[in-house]
Amino acid sequence: MGQIIVESMTKPSFLGIYYFIVYFYMLVTKIIYIVPTYFYLQKIYLIFWWISWNSDPDGDMGMGTDQAMKV
């Protein structure tokens, strides 16, 4: 989890921001809310995935892999 947070700092993306929000939200809330939060955020993730997939022609989910291809 920590590695994902570090990557989201260096290269912002849909997934990076999503994981950061989930990580921060779990830190703020109590352990009781983790399971329902997971299912709730999973729906949000699917929406973000649909948006990013439809607005990302190379289909790399905004992870930055297209940078190497353009060179």
Give per-residue pLDDT as tens, 23-58. 777 777 665 555 666 677 777 777 777 766 666 555
Give burial (CB, 10 Å; 0-12/13-18/19+) of 4.
middle
pLDDT at site 20: 79
The predicted model scores a pTM of 0.24
Following DSSP, what letter does each residue of the chain receive, concatenated?
-HHHHHHHHHS--HHHHHHHHHHHHHHHS-GGGHHHHHHHHHHHHHHHHHHHHHT-TT-STTSSTHHHHH-
Domain ranges of the chain: 2-58
